[in-house]
Structure 1
Amino acid sequence: MTETAPRNRPDTPGRDLSGSGEEPRKPSTTKRGSGDPASRGRTTIADGVVEKIAGLAARDVIGVHAMGSGASRTFGAVRDRVPGSSRSSASRGVKAEVGEVQTALDLDIVVDYGVSIADVARDVRENVVAAVERMTGLEVVEVNIAVGDVKLPDEEDDEPEPRIQ
C-alpha cells in the first residue's frame, strides 16, 4: 500500500501540508454562512400571484370597466359567492406565464364607452408592467390585451346583483 502526502485543504488554515515550503496560509476572517443573505436560497412566484397583481393594476386604470370576457365575468361573479371558491376575482381576465426571471401576461378587458381604446391599452400596459416588476422583480416581456367588449352608459352589468342576507 502506497501512502500519499496529504494535500492542503481549505478547511485547515495555517498549515502547509503540500511540502512545497510556501508560507502557511492565514486563517480566513469570514465566518461560515456569511455573505449576502439575499443570495441564500431561491424564491419562486406562483402564476396566481402575478395574475392578481396584474389584475389589480389593470383595474386601477381609468377607462377599464371590467376584466374578463362576458361569460367569465358572469361565471366568476357566481363563483365568488360560493364559499371556498379558489380563484379570486382579482385575477379574473388575466393569464400569466411565469418563468424564473421573466413573465408574460394576457389580459381580457372591457372598456367604458367613449374612451380611447389605444390610450387605455397603453395605460394598462404601463401600470401592469410597473406593478409586476416592482412587486416581483420579474421582467415583464409582454402584456397582450384583448378588448372583448365596450360598456355602454345605459347597459346593465352582466354580473348578477349581490343578494342581501
Structure 2
Amino acid sequence: MPEDSKIILNKDDQKLGTIQIAPRVLEIIAGYAASEVKGVSKMYGSFANSVGELLGRSDHRRGVKLVNDADDLIIDVDVYVEYGMSVPKVAGQIQERIKQQITLMTNLVVTEVNVHVKGIIAPQEDQQVDPDNLFGEDKDDGGSEEE
C-alpha cells in the first residue's frame, strides 16, 4: 500500500470535512497492541528495522503490514513468542487486541488479523561470573600433586 494513500474515517458524516489517517498510523497502533500481549517476545522485522533500533530509532510498525482493499482492512503481524507460552492462545489474544485497539482508536472495522509466528524465543539464563575465577578453572588446595 503506498504511503501517500489515506484512509477516510468519517465516510458518512462529512459536514465539517473529512478525517483522513495514514496507513502507517494503523500499523503503529497494531504494533503497539501486539507487543503488549503477554507471551509476545518481540516483533519480527527486517534488517533495516534491526539496524534502526541499534541506532536508537524504534519503529513500532515493525512486523506489521496493512492491506486496505475496498472496505476490507487486513492486518498481517509477524511475531516471536516466548518459550513455554501457548502459541494458539497468544495468537488469538493478538488478534483480539489489535481489532479492539483499531476499532477503539479509529472506529474502523478490521476484517482480518493474520498472525505469523516466526519463532520461539527461549528465556535467557543468568550467567554467574566469578571475578576471581573467570575461566572456570578448578582451584587446587595444596598446589602439589601426589604420586
2:48 to 71, 75, 90: 75
Gaps of 5+ in 1: 1-36, 156-165
Tell me which structure has the larger Cα radius of gyration: 1
1:63 to 15, 21, 39: 39
Call closer, same or farther: CA 1:124–1:134 in 2, change over 3 Å. Answer: same
Partner SS, residue 37 of structure 2: coil
1:45 to 13, 18, 21: 21
1:14-55 deviation per Cα after TM superposition (whole angstroms, max 9, x unaligned): xxxxxxxxxxxxxxxxxxxxxxx8632222211100000000
Partner SS, residue 91 of structure 2: helix
Contact 1:45 1:98 in 2 (8 A): no
Runs of 4+ in 1 over 6 A off after TM superposition: none
The two structures have a TM-score, normalised by structure 2, of 0.68
CA distance in 2, matches of 1:47, 1:80: 21
C-alpha displacement at 1:68, in angstroms?
1.2
Gaps of 5+ in 2: 1-12, 126-147
Partner SS, residue 140 of structure 1: coil
Percent identity, please: 35
The two structures have a TM-score, normalised by structure 1, of 0.61
2:85 to 97, 115, 133: 115
